Homo-oligomer: A and B are copies of this chain.
């Protein structure tokens, strides 16, 4: 039965309430998909919900701005929050349940456990955000286990995160199928991101150069051009377009994320760079 996309979205805030809903679905022999978010939802998140509806009988979304994946100087406090707006969007997309736990449900007093993932978390975003993937792995493991979801959809926009989450779930034997969804983009190619809100109109107009430069470099590398020169061209082009600090522009193995120089296996071109107050990331496939 198709969910009623006009009714207000039920919200649960505790693990007990959450599991009661999921248990009822499972008891009826129905499957459940999780779309885990930090809120500030945009069309990219809606695409995750749409895909999740294809993969399972029911879709639930979590909205939780997870403090363990922000460093003290990062934008945890000012990260955009709008639960009512998020709930309306989720309901319209066919999500049936919103799980919005409080901080003390997720990290109660005495909480003492950490998860570390090596392998795909090495380098790239870890260089400037060393605590990020540990925080992500922890909260995602908790969300998987709290929800007992059968399937989950993560965006390829956060490609390193997707590979870290896959590694963590496989290594810990969490019984969930993880699907990656290609990045949803604005018409001019800019990857959708909650952090695009931080861009001024002028910065927003220049930001798509990141994707354009990466796409052309990926095609060149796939066709056999030396990768070092192509990566350098991306850096030069985005610097010329007004990007400030460039955290990285790198070619990596598409699954393990070990650095590679040629696309003789499926590879991924990944970049992170600052435009004004926004740290933008993007990635594109490189198939030689």
Contacts and interface: CB of A to CB of B under 8 A. Distances in A.
Interface stretch (A73-81, A106-114, A181-189): A106-114
A226 interface: no
Copies of this chain = 2
Contact of A117 (B112, B137, B172, B174): B112
A175 B111 CA distance: 16
Nearest to A168: B113
Interface in A140-184: 141-142, 145-146, 148, 167-168, 171-175
A244 interface: no
A85 interface: no
Nearest to A107: B171
Contact of A145 (B111, B116, B173): B173
Given A15-B173, A141-B172, A172-B142, A119 B115 contact: no
Contact of A119 (B112, B142, B172): B112
Given A173-B146, A175-B148, A167 B110 contact: yes
B116 A114 contact: yes
Interface string A94-112: 0000000000000000111
A118 interface: yes
A239 B173 CA distance: 45
Contacts of A137: 113
Interface string A121-154: 1000000000000000100011001101000000
Contact of A120 (B112, B148, B174): B112
Contacts of A171: 111-113, 142
A256 interface: yes
Contacts of A174: 145
A113 to B, nearest CB: 4
Contacts of A117: 112-114
Interface of A: 15, 19, 110-121, 137, 141-142, 145-146, 148, 167-168, 171-175, 256
24 contacts: A19-B175, A110-B256, A111-B171, A112-B117, A112-B119, A112-B121, A112-B167, A112-B171, A113-B115, A113-B116, A113-B118, A113-B137, A113-B168, A113-B171, A114-B116, A115-B115, A115-B116, A116-B116, A141-B172, A142-B172, A142-B173, A145-B174, A145-B175, A146-B173
5 cross-chain pairs, A with B, having the tightest CB-CB distances, nearest first: A112-B119, A113-B171, A112-B118, A145-B173, A114-B116
